[in-house]
Structure 1
Amino acid sequence: MIASAYVHIPFCQHICTYCAFARTARLDWIEPWFNQCVSEIQTTLQEARAKDENFALQTVYFGGGTPSLLSVDKLKKLTDCFRPYLADEYEWTIEANPESIDEKKLTVLHDAGINRLSIGIQTFDDARLKQLGRHHSSHQAKECIRMARKAGFGNVSVDLMYGFLDQTPEQLKQDLDAFLDLDVEHLSIYSLILEPDSILGRRQTEEMDEQQSGELFEQIETRLENAGYTHYEISSYAKGNRYGLHNVLIWQDGLYYGFGYGAIGRNEHGLYHHTGTLKDYIEGKSRLEYDEDANPWFDAIMTGLRTIFGLNLKSWNEKYGFDFETRYPKTLARYADSFQHKDGYLCVDCKGMEILDTILVDFLMEDESAG
């Protein structure tokens, strides 16, 4: 049974300079997209319940794009699609931008059953926000947190970025200061990557060098751990065990529905996406197509080891038909001091997390030599 669902809302009021996700500013397409997406969701969930009367979703995630851009009426109709299918205990997340959210929307979302809010702030530096093509201010971002608390949200996550070409440790400190003052449960913090399909990627070619980026990463690590946050995934920190459960499921090789153009899902046949363009999807011409992944077992290793929970070796062996320890003896021996075995899971320690890319390359090379 698939117990998780991701819905991609591909619309944005403005296109951020760093973004390369499937998105569009064609807001006149929202209505026909919405009708098509709701139909896809309802049909799929009804079929799942018909096959299994105990079918229930443990995690739901509305991402984008900008889900909070949708009107109150559409958000209400979209949440109504999922409410009959929720497990007794569930996590339901929606991404939001400060400029597209208000008290009324937040109250509607909370009353509909959404219990986790992920707010895309990126930085509290107003000049940097303009550089990134963001359309909110530092003040609006902080006000968004206040409104979320007033609406009843007890589980809030913030997105930040670091590693801007000219960023100094003091500037990063100011961002971390502002974040910690908000006293929220979760932080996702990503190093800026110049995606070739993004506006910034076409405009700028130089990135911060690895040594500078590594020093900023160490600053983040020390500051957040001292503030009581657990670094549970390469880019994710949580306090009070308020992990992002939907993403944890994905990192642990779980199955999930992918609804809407731009969404990726995973079922027993592998990863899939919707073919064609957004226009094709709206016109009903899109279909589900499975990705050609020559090495899904390595993907499971890669995502499993990026978390403190690690890779479930028994599940991996059963799913992919290998014995992990006999397939990767050289890599396991080479980094023995960085690996930990916990109740059937293989994990890396702090030292291993810092060199995880190198470890993964060795896993991949040993995999290729095994055939």
Structure 2
Amino acid sequence: MPRRKAVRTSTLSTALIGFSLVAGGSALSMGLASLGARPGPQSPARQVGVVGPDGRGDPRGCIFDERLASYAAGWPFDLCDCPYPPACDDPINRDAAIPTPATPMKVVRIRVVVFANDDGSDPTSVLGEVEDQIAVLNADFAQHRFYFQHTVDFINSTAARIGAIPATVFAENPGVQCNVYVVATNGSSATGPWESQALADEGGVLMSEDHFASDLHVLTHEMGHTLGLWHTFHGSQLNIACGVGPCHDCSESVGAANTDLVGDHCSDTPPMLAGGFATCTSPTGIDPCSGRPWGAMPENYMDYAGALLPGCDMLFTPQQSGRMHCWSADELSAWFSAPGDLNGDGFVNIADPIFLKDYLFGGGAAPNPLCRGDVNGDGGIDIADMIYLLNYLFSQGPAPTDGC
């Protein structure tokens, strides 16, 4: 059952930043803020130390093409001059991470936070809707070998519900789980894994209550960002929108040979313009850099096309899947539930065989996902798994298997 929390009185003078899907139009929105966040783990190769003349920036900021473009007039470096490109932007690393049906499932811990008014009225969602939305999320990611193990909290805070204070005031344990906030505002957004806020209180996913619906895939879109994906139109429409012109070294142009290295860093998604929320088609037109027609992939989760239409969004490409596995393994592995962690608390200890015993013999909750209960890998879930886990913990037995 969800845990009802007392409203906290602390304040935080920042906002969730990242990618944004703004309801009711085709606005392309993203922010850049200077936040006093606790940095998450960083690979030395990503510590490029890019800081603008106004002091704003991010240790790995040179990969933010659009954000840099927004400040291009005053930033004394080339937009594409990244001396230490991120490892997962290398197509060799990306392709090596593309999962197969035999790839072990990455079980990601998420916490869904539903806000209501101070008196408990008008919640942004209810438990049944949350369960339905998570079922859609897991169905969308299943063939890409991700599963989302969730908890739900209901919090009474009118201010957080309407965006008067940041929802991230109510962050819990962002170093070991992704916080997903459902609010009564018009936009949805997410923090990318390369951002220093990814494992800090300021990170997470912000979901508009209108987007948090089981017949839509907006949460899938935002979770794609969280795990390492850009929009499919990254490097085309967004570079134009940020005022640096349509054609430069960072542009993703139709027919170019470098589409693995610019734009969304996936050559199996075409250079394209952003689709409209209410139509399941990609805009037509001519790429001004190549003179060729823009590509189309409106069914991709990372486009805007049909975001508010049931039945439009339906796929990630193999290279997108590889990017998510690469980036999440590099930067977000603390969110993964390890084999044997049957109760989802982030540890493998005596509580897990007890959890399994309660499930098998006491009517307790099932492992989530259920296949994780098969810790000995024999295809079933029974007392042998409980004994196997006890032997691992106390008799130097073999480690638990994934089971999924």
- Length-normalised TM-score, structure 1: 0.29
| TM-score normalised by the chain length of structure 2 | 0.27
